[in-house]
């Protein structure tokens, strides 16, 4: 058990450092400038890294707990958007501020959706069922 926790911790640190180190030089140069909102390219990059982390960490051999790993990946995604972009994103050509919890929830759903395409064998049946229930609920709320 302790070994699995240390693997989760180590992988989450590596994942976090990758996301933060990517733009460290950019941040140093532009330290006094306003945070720009995350655009589609930024969000796609963070999402791709999150899916890669999720699939790699839960593959055979690592066998980390999928829900915990998903939580780390989605929290990291939300944290990067919050810290680097001030919690702001560009959606439909409009700048919007999104709360951390909402960002993490959205990231979690999107990461599960992608994991079901990229590494479906890693996604537990229970997580897949919860994902389907939640997406149907959201569709009903949005009137789709």
**The pLDDT of residue 144:** 57
Number of structural domains in the chain = 1
| b/e map 59-94, b = 16+ CB within 10 Å | eeeeebebeebbebbbbbbbbbbbebbebbbbeeee
Contacts 24+ apart (CB under 8 A), 95-100: 95/37, 96/37
Please tell me the predicted confidence (pLDDT) of residue 91: 84
Instruction: Give CA angle at 16 (10, 21), nearest 5°.
Output: 120
The pLDDT of residue 32 is: 47
pLDDT, residue 20, reads 54
pLDDT for res 72: 95
* Model pTM score: 0.74
pLDDT tens over the chain, length 144 residues? 455 555 555 555 555 555 555 555 555 544 445 689 999 999 999 999 999 999 999 998 887 899 999 999 999 999 999 999 999 999 888 999 999 999 999 999 999 999 999 999 999 999 999 999 999 998 888 775
Can you tell me which residue has the tokens 């693997």? Answer: 7
Residue 45: which domain range? 2-142
Q: How far apart are CA 5 and CA 65, in angstroms?
A: 9
């Amino acid at each position: 058990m302790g070994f699995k926790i240390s693997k989760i911790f180590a992988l989450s640190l590596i994942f976090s450092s990758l996301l933060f180190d990517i733009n460290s030089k950019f941040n140093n140069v532009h330290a006094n400038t306003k945070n720009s909102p995350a655009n589609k390219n930024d969000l796609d990059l963070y999402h791709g890294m999150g899916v890669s982390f999720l699939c790699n960490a839960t593959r055979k051999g690592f066998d980390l707990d999928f829900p915990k790993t998903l939580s780390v990946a989605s929290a990291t995604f939300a944290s990067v958007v919050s810290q680097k972009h001030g919690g702001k994103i560009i959606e439909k050509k409009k700048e919007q501020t999104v709360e951390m919890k909402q960002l993490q929830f959205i990231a979690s759903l999107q990461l599960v959706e992608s994991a079901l395409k990229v590494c479906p064998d890693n996604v537990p049946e229970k997580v897949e069922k919860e994902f389907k229930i939640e997406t149907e609920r959201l569709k009903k709320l949005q009137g789709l």
